[in-house]
Amino acid sequence: MHGTRAAYVRDQCRCTDCTAANTAVSRLANRERTHGRWQPYVDARPVHEHITALRAAGIGVKRIAHLADMALSHIRELADPALNNSTMTRRVRPTTAARILIIDMDDANRASTSRVEATGTHRRVQALIAAGWAPELLAAPLGRRSTSLKRSMTSPSVTARTAQDVADLYERLENTPPPRATGEERAAANAARAHAAARGWKPPLAWDDIDTDPTPHPMAGTPPADDVDPIAVERAVTGHGIRYDDLTFAEQQEVIHRLTARGRSIRDIATQLATTKRTVSRRRASVGP
């Protein structure tokens, strides 16, 4: 960086700004030596330990080097001092220590492709659905498809980028009601709430700390298998993104009965409900004509 001692020494830049910066640092060092306060190096052990903790949290040496604005080779030496048992890996400059020790072990500092624990992501998506946001409305601003979002909701881990994107979306929408201007929007919101209620998902206001609160016990009001939500059934029949697995047993029966009565084939029904032909065939046999 221009105008620094580093540029003067490392890049051998002799411009006015870099020369002035080098002079200022030299004067400070001489003054500190005069008063017996000169400490050009500090113990590197806290730095080694912090790098180890960062790596265990999924923040690799390349990412650490980027966040600390340091050379990758230097970070690698500090990460594994056994590879270089010199004085420089046992002691470091105070500025070097400060740059590394300030790096937090949070999702924002992880590489975007690194994997992080998904509980917070699951809870945020579930809470928004419980508030009436249909999955397809959540998937769109994330640049995802509904099927991709569903995989993130069931996987034990997600990428750091997904976790951050979902956290940002949750922050924007947690106090915002879903659109309800049209009949279709109202039906989608009602179906989302019914879907969440059937699974005991809690809305945003029910969480104190959505990342650290203990997992709640199943809600006593969870709809039984014979419960039928007519709005969910209607959305499934008309092909508005309701999957077979989103429905109760009785709703599955009703939807397949209605689609069969409309002359839809087993293949078409399976495709519309995102299930298998075998499942539809068995359920049609149990429903009867």
The reported pLDDT for the residue numbered 211 is 83
The reported pLDDT for the residue numbered 159 is 84
The reported pLDDT for the residue numbered 108 is 62
pLDDT digits (tens, 9 = 90+) for 73-95: 888 888 876 655 544 457 787 88
Full 3-state SS string of 120-179 = HHHHHHHHHHHCCCCHHHHHHHHCCCHHHHHHHHHCCEEEHHHHHHHHHHHHHHCCCCCC
Q: How many CB atoms lie within 10 A of CB 189?
A: 21
pLDDT digits (tens, 9 = 90+) for 148-204: 888 888 888 888 888 888 999 999 998 898 998 888 888 888 888 888 888 889 888
pTM score above 0.85: no
The reported pLDDT for the residue numbered 87 is 45
pLDDT digits (tens, 9 = 90+) for 243-263: 887 777 788 888 898 999 899
CA 264 to chain centre: 40
Using an 8 Å Cβ cutoff, are 48 and 42 in contact? Answer: no
